[in-house]
Amino acid sequence: MASLRRRLVLGGYLAEEDESDRFDEPLGTALREFQTEQYLDVDGRAGRQTRAALNLLVGARIDQVRVNLERARWLLPQIQGDVVVVDIAGFKSNIEMVALNPTWTVPPTILSEDLLPKLRRNSGSLAANRIRVFDSDGHERDPSSVDWNHPQGLVLRQDAGAGNSLGRVAIRFPNPYGIYMHDTPHRELFSEGRRAFSSGCIRIERPLELVEHLLANTPGWGRGKIDAAIATGQTRSVVLDHPVPILILY
């Protein structure tokens, strides 16, 4: 306990004069603050991952600072004005459009790996999730008429509204991978320490705050207008007057 307390004191999370050997409330509060800053599960317990972070040597922290300063040396000169930063792998583009009440087109990988096995057992699950089937010409198909063992040239699209996989908003930026940022109906996932649940896209914890910021320079699109447009339930695309750079970094 003394070792845990000492590390939190050295990190500035706990007062030096508190020398109790008990796991008391101040120690638990300091530990949760440390876990929050380190993107760990905030449970107030000194588990394996928390101990590993606490025991990281000062030299290793200095190396992290050096690496990030080098990244900043290359990236910051490219940034002018506002920018959205996503901490994953390296990529750069510009946010050009926001979709309110978006529909969701099922990506090929999710279709083949997740949906098709279920549809072969019960194609009725599509209607339960408000997912419609279209052929390559855009004509809607009856799911019961499709051979789900050998589907060809089909597009599956989930209607906008409650339960839609993209939630209330999607934020688009050009890229060759079909990646975008979006809201989600699964809010509970943001309490997890590791959040790699998506098949490539990026969930946003406070999407309407980000949309409000992105549309701040687009005339007529204050928060009231955004909320009203979402309340209609109708899908609508809003093009930003001034595209905002997005950096997807690690």
Q: Which residues have CB under 8 Å from 199's CB, separation 6+?
A: 107, 109, 110
Q: What is the CATH number of domain 82-103+162-249?
A: 2.40.440
Residues 144-154: pLDDT tens digits?
Answer: 889 998 888 89
Of 57, 16, 52, nearest in space to 34 by CA: 52
Residues 78-86 have a mean pLDDT of 78
For residue 225, what is the enclosing H or E element?
helix 223-231
What distance in Å separates the CA atoms of residue 195 and residue 212, rounded to the nearest whole number? 24
- pLDDT of res. 84: 82
Domain ranges of the chain: 2-56, 82-103+162-249, 108-158
Residue 122 confidence class, pLDDT cut points 50, 70, 90: confident
- pLDDT of res. 178: 80
Residues 159-174: pLDDT tens digits?
Answer: 998 789 899 999 999 8
- pLDDT of res. 90: 54
Kindly tell me if the per-residue pLDDT of 87 is higher than 80. Answer: no
The mean predicted confidence, pLDDT, of the chain is 85
Residues 207-212 have a mean pLDDT of 94
Residue 191 confidence class, pLDDT cut points 50, 70, 90: low
Pairwise pLDDT comparison (195 vs 35), residue with the higher score:
35
Contact between 246 and 173 under an 8 Å Cβ cutoff? The reply is yes
What DSSP character marks residue 199? Answer: S
Kindly tell me if the per-residue pLDDT of 36 is higher than 70. Answer: yes
Tokens of 145: 């008429």
Q: Which residues have CB under 8 Å from 223's CB, separation 6+?
A: 208, 212
C-beta neighbour count of 79 within 10 angstroms = 13
